[in-house]
Structure 1
Amino acid sequence: MLSMEERMDHFWLTDEQFAKISSHLPTDTRGRERVDDRRVISGIVHELKSGGRWPDAPREIYGPKKTLYNRFVRWAEKGVWVELFETLAHAGGPPAQVLIDSSAVKAHRCAAGGKGGSRPKPSVARVVGAPPRSTRSSIGSDARSPSC
């Protein structure tokens, strides 16, 4: 069992939280005795919240990284996570605690910086009346493909 100090430094499901989901966890396992579900789920949530890699999970707190990863993937394939989320969403509670949000914003490659488009930019030298410091391309602008 974790000490209070370790629990404060890392994510750990409370007794109340684990009681809400424990009846929805799969029990049809074969082979070796399964690592404690509470420990593994706490490790999975820790990694998902922190955005870290599976190997970054503290082994002494959550167990082997391979166990965390394998349990996450197997339960995803079985639909366990979806069932848990649906159960928790139907249980009520503040919307901020049951909301799952994702955003994807697509931008044209020109929006990432660089020269800022294909319009010509006046040379500083031209502004003050000096001759241009570079020559124009011999290829007409109609023949070139626009980069943006």
Structure 2
Amino acid sequence: MGLKQNLKKIFSTRTETSEDNEDKTLQTHYYKAMKDKVIDELHAMFSKKQGYEVSSVSDEHGEMIVRINKGKKAFMVITVIMVRPYKTAVDFSVNTDTILFTDFGHSASLIRELYKELNGRLTFVGTGLGSELSR
């Protein structure tokens, strides 16, 4: 990782996963499931967590908005896209509510924790598979 990326990561209150993220743990995760099943699992996962509130779910657009109201407050947008039958991508965007210029890596560690839990609930296929799947 370059100096610019490291500084950006340190001085940020927002973390987003992507297909080509330099941090492998923050790359798009793929699951062997249909989009609806993934959305249902995410909804069930957040419903069981104390302080997590599912504000909105759009099955049509594959998006879910979740607010964290306990501990470090945060706002999450989860995007679920079925790229092929039984191959579904999940991305997170987390904004931490803080008066400081940084969340000290909280948003990134939250994403890693959520991916780990989701990996236990669904059949994990891999990360950053976009270029492989588009062939």
TM-score (normalizing by structure 1): 0.27
Larger Rg: 1
TM-score norm. by structure 2 comes to 0.29
- Structure whose residues are more often strand by fraction: 2
The structure with the greater share of residues assigned to helix is 1
